[in-house]
């Protein structure tokens, strides 16, 4: 998933004008030799199950993909592990805590923010939600609902990476049921 890196017009070290933006994942200044590697942003998301094997889905309140289905998750902050970030995002978005996080898979994604498309590497986990009666639509969540996984229309899932993670979850779901 290589995209042209067009937003670096000047070297961040010496200020020299970039001669030719391209698709290479490394910026190299022809003036001072500074190298900058364009790495993906890291995001996490969780397929949360209740005691009856229903899964928690959210409707996004904001762009991108406003109104589309998703699962709780978000970007990993500096100083956080993937697991810490997911636990934080779950608290911030749906007011829940979870037990053991089981790694499911990773998927490539892109995220458009302020006219810049960022490459993202999404890490998906599965977890059992605790105290599901406390679930609430909070930060960035228009609404939430619990559903039988078989009843979910994958075409309503907003991000292609989440759809791929969903397919992987369905193929592996006997591990959790």
pLDDT bucket at 22, cuts 50 / 70 / 90: low
Q: Whole-structure pTM over 0.85, yes or no?
A: yes
Count how many Cα atoms sit within 13 Å of the Cα of residue 23 in the half-sphere of its side chain. 3
Span 117-172, pLDDT tens digits: 888 999 999 999 999 999 999 999 999 999 999 999 999 999 999 999 999 999 99
Angle at 113 between CA 69 and CA 161, to 5 degrees: 40
Rounded mean pLDDT of the chain? 91
For CATH 3.90.79.10, the residue range(s) in the chain are: 41-175
Q: SS3 letters for 99-143?
A: CCCEEEEEEEEEEEECCEEEEEEEEEEEEEEECHHHCCCCCCEEE
Domain spanning 41-175: which CATH class is it, in words? Answer: alpha beta
């Amino acid at each position: 998933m290589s995209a042209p890196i067009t937003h670096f017009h000047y070297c961040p070290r010496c200020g020299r004008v970039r001669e030719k933006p391209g698709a290479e994942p490394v910026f190299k200044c022809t003036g001072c030799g500074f190298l900058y590697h364009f790495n993906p942003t890291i995001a996490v998301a969780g397929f949360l199950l209740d005691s009856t094997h229903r899964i928690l889905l959210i409707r996004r309140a904001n762009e991108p993909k406003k109104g589309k289905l998703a699962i709780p998750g978000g970007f990993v902050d500096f100083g956080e592990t993937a697991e810490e970030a997911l636990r934080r995002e779950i608290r911030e978005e749906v007011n829940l805590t979870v037990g053991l996080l089981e790694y499911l898979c990773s998927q490539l994604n892109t995220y458009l923010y302020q006219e810049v498309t960022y490459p993202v590497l999404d890490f998906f986990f599965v977890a059992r939600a605790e105290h599901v009666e406390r679930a609430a639509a909070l930060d960035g969540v228009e609404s939430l609902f619990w559903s039988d996984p078989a009843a979910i229309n994958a075409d309503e899932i907003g991000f292609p990476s989440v759809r791929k993670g969903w397919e992987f979850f369905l193929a592996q779901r006997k591990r959790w049921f």
